[in-house]
């Protein structure tokens, strides 16, 4: 019988929640997806792509990290924008570590400064400043840009990274784990997100609308799953409605002879099939829902607020 070494120290397992906060379009969802190793949050070149709190789960032998992807913090122009900012700021008191993600290729603006002030007022967790898009920063600007953000973050520990190229993500990860509390796994080890399949499907459809349509459409788009039926082990039928605020936007999404809607549907179906693991029949409709972003009942029905 093998003797137990009384001096042996058991491996420390850490777990906790890590919020990724920042203004719109700085790469928060790209960073979360890179760490999780799966697309748990949709990504597009359009600002304010993320509208709801999304949790991506990374499990390793020594740690389980739940990355909390948040909507971009900005000066809201409508009720939806206000709900997004409130959702992002609400997580600050609930997490173990905060990654303040900024566009490190340029100097901070007023949104960055407001977020820095918000973190000082509301956040008790340790903050890590991550200067993203380091591959776009000119060498002669490194010092001035870094110091400008460092002043906003009140001398938090920092790291220059590139979420798309994954530069220095391992170093930032080590900084995160070092600040997490000891604890057991909080989710099953094979789970990568807390989003259910219907929410994922609606987001993947919206992602394709964002990618394929012009600038005037994306912010006015919402997607609702109307029907989800697993007709067999190898086939799921999904019916979804794409909502817009004006008839002109409806025409853009449908396109000439329905070509745009067909393209959106084909691309979204391929993405959804990767999640469900079998064939999907996707049926899309486009409807006008006037000023839905300004109506509390609309946001509640779409699952964008709990009010």
- The CATH number linked to 41 is 3.40.50.300
Q: Produce one character per residue of 259-270: b if its CB has 16 or more CB atoms within 10 Å, e if not.
A: ebbeebbebbbe
Instruction: Say if CB 268 and CB 208 are below 8 A apart.
Output: yes
The answer to whether position 296 is within a domain reads yes
pLDDT the model gives residue 210: 93
Same-domain check for residues 18 and 164: yes
pLDDT, tens digit, for every residue of 193-202? 999 999 999 9
Same-domain check for residues 213 and 82: no
Same-domain check for residues 61 and 96: yes
Task: Find residue 238's DSSP bridge partners.
Answer: 228, 282
The answer to whether position 125 is within a domain reads yes
Same-domain check for residues 21 and 166: yes
The answer to whether position 191 is within a domain reads no
The answer to whether position 228 is within a domain reads yes
Contacts of 91 by beta carbon, 8 Å cutoff, 6+ apart: 17, 19, 21, 53, 68, 70
- The CATH number linked to 241 is 3.30.300.20
Same-domain check for residues 122 and 238: no
The answer to whether position 3 is within a domain reads no
Q: Whole-prediction pTM value?
A: 0.90
Going by pLDDT thresholds of 50, 70 and 90, the confidence category of residue 9 is very low
Structure tokens at 148: 């400008």
**Count of CA atoms in the C-beta half-sphere (13 A) of 273:** 13
Q: Which of 167, 247, 182, 153 is nearest to 10 (CA)?
A: 182
Same-domain check for residues 38 and 142: yes
Same-domain check for residues 130 and 25: yes
pLDDT, tens digit, for every residue of 248-280? 999 999 999 999 999 999 999 999 999 999 999
Domain assignment of residue 286, given as a range: 197-301
Same-domain check for residues 228 and 152: no
Q: What is the bridge-based pairing of β-strands 127-132 and 97-103? A: parallel
Same-domain check for residues 19 and 162: yes
Cα 111 from Cα 11, distance rounded (Å): 42
């Amino acid at each position: 019988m093998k003797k137990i070494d009384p001096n042996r120290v058991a491996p420390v397992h850490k777990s906790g929640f890590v919020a990724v906060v920042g203004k719109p379009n700085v790469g928060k969802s790209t960073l979360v997806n890179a760490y999780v190793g799966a697309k748990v949050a949709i990504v597009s070149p359009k600002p304010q792509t993320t509208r709801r709190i999304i949790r991506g789960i990374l499990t390793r032998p020594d740690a389980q990290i739940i990355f909390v992807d948040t909507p971009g913090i900005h000066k809201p122009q409508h009720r939806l924008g206000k709900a997004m900012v409130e959702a992002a700021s609400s997580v600050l008191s609930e997490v173990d570590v905060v990654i303040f993600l900024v566009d490190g290729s340029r100097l901070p603006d007023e949104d960055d400064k407001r977020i820095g002030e918000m973190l000082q007022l509301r956040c008790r967790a340790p903050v890590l400043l991550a200067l993203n898009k380091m591959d776009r920063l000119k060498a002669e600007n490194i010092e001035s840009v870094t110091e400008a953000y460092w002043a906003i973050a009140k001398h938090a520990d920092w790291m220059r990274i590139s979420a798309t190229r994954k530069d220095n993500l391992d170093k930032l990860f080590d900084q995160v784990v070092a600040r997490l509390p000891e604890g057991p796994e909080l989710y099953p080890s094979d789970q990568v997100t807390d989003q259910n399949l219907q929410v994922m499907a609606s987001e993947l459809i919206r992602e394709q609308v964002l990618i394929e349509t012009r600038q005037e459409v994306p912010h006015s788009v919402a997607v609702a799953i109307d029907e989800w039926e697993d007709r067999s082990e190898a086939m799921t039928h999904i019916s979804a409605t794409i909502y817009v605020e004006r008839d002109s936007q409806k025409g853009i999404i449908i396109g000439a002879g329905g070509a745009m809607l067909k393209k959106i549907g084909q691309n979204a179906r391929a993405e959804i099939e990767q999640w469900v693991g079998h064939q999907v029949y996707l049926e899309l409709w486009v409807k006008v829902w006037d000023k839905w972003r300004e109506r509390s009942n609309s946001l509640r029905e779409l699952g964008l607020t709990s009010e």
